[in-house]
Chains A and B, each alone.
Chain A
Amino acid sequence: NAGVTQTPKFRVLKTGQSMTLLCAQDMNHEYMYWYRQDPGMGLRLIHYSVGEGTTAKGEVPDGYNVSRLKKQNFLLGLESAAPSQTSVYFCASSYLNQPQHFGDGTRLSIL
């Protein structure tokens, strides 16, 4: 049972480039989340999804887009990467009141 898998694990981008982070879960969870982790800031919610085809903004959504075309996948897109988006990105999923399951994170550096 893989749980929550994030792809890629590391990536370096140049300012202005675009990329998509993929989150896949095999637990049939309805809810999925994208967080970013910055030093001294904890984890902050970017976007989340309450089910296939639905998304909602979190605390820090600017500069990001998301899609949930399939229940098991939640994509996070950066259309024009900026140095301020250098961070570690975590995906998580949950079912009802059970604790969230986290992926191992993606370290993204933007030069």
Chain B
Amino acid sequence: DTGVSQDPRHKITKRGQNVTFRCDPISEHNRLYWYRQTLGQGPEFLTYFQNEAQLEKSRLLSDRFSAERPKGSFSTLEIQRTEQGDSAMYLCASSTTGNEQYFGPGTRLTVT
């Protein structure tokens, strides 16, 4: 399967813990995006990279959130000091510049 992959698929954590998610994009795609989706809503943009460069961050991305794409391939999204409001599906997508975005299966985070 050469699509976008995400790991883990599910994560249950206690409030205050740190969590890290990984995304592997489609191999030839230079852009990688992170979104968050809660029940009954469309995905909300968090941040995106073009190669290694983080080009945009949403104001939704508080200072507890950090994302990296160190070698321009896979990316990680870390949430520090998780809160119950962080419970959501975290979706990663990739694209070539300016083209259609393809999503991975997501990481479902539950903060208890």
A and B held together in a complex: no
The residues of A with any CB-CB pair to B shorter than 8 Å are none
The residues of B with any CB-CB pair to A shorter than 8 Å are none
